[in-house]
């Protein structure tokens, strides 16, 4: 089941974090997409938000599987 509650909030918050970390807009969008993707796999709003390590692990997994 997918729950899209807070997916936009997850994206926006993660994109802001990425920009604060001086990521390029493109890298920031990938980071934010990963955070939003994780959030839709969980129920609720705040409980669905990913940790930094979860987002980084997802991005690492994607990079590893595409090389």
Q: Which one of 9, 40, 57, 59 is the catalytic residue?
A: 9
DSSP per-residue letters across 25-64: HHHHHHHHHHHHHHHTTSSSSGGGPPPHHHHHHHHHHHHH
- The answer to whether 3 is a known catalytic residue is no
Q: How far is CA 48 from the centre of its chain?
A: 11
Q: Hey, which residues are catalytic here?
A: 9
């Amino acid at each position: 089941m997918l729950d899209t509650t807070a997916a936009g909030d997850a994206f926006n918050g993660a994109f802001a974090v990425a920009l604060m970390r001086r990521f390029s807009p493109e890298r920031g969008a990938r980071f934010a997409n990963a955070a939003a993707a994780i959030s839709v796999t969980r129920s609720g709003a705040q409980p669905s938000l990913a940790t930094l390590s979860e987002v980084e692990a997802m991005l690492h997994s994607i990079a590893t599987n595409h090389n």
